[in-house]
Amino acid sequence: MTTHPAGATCPVLQPRAISAPVIRATPWRWALALLGILSVAVGGIGVVVPGLPTTVFLMIGSWCFAKSCPWLETRLIRNRFFRPFLVFMEPGARMPLRAKIISNAMMWLAISASCGVFFARGDWVFTLPVIAAGAVGSWFIARR
**Phi/psi at 3 (5° precision):** -105, 150
What are the boundaries of each domain within the chain? 11-89, 97-143
Residue 22 scores a pLDDT above 50: yes
- Give the pLDDT mean for 107-118: 91
Residue 75 scores a pLDDT above 80: yes
CA of residue 143 relative to chain centroid, distance: 16
- Give the pLDDT mean for 63-69: 89
HSE on the CB side for 139, CA within 13 Å?
6
Percent of the chain with pLDDT over 90: 23
The C-alpha atoms of residue 140 and residue 10 are separated, in whole angstroms, by: 26
pLDDT at 25: 77
CB 144 within 8 A of CB 94: yes
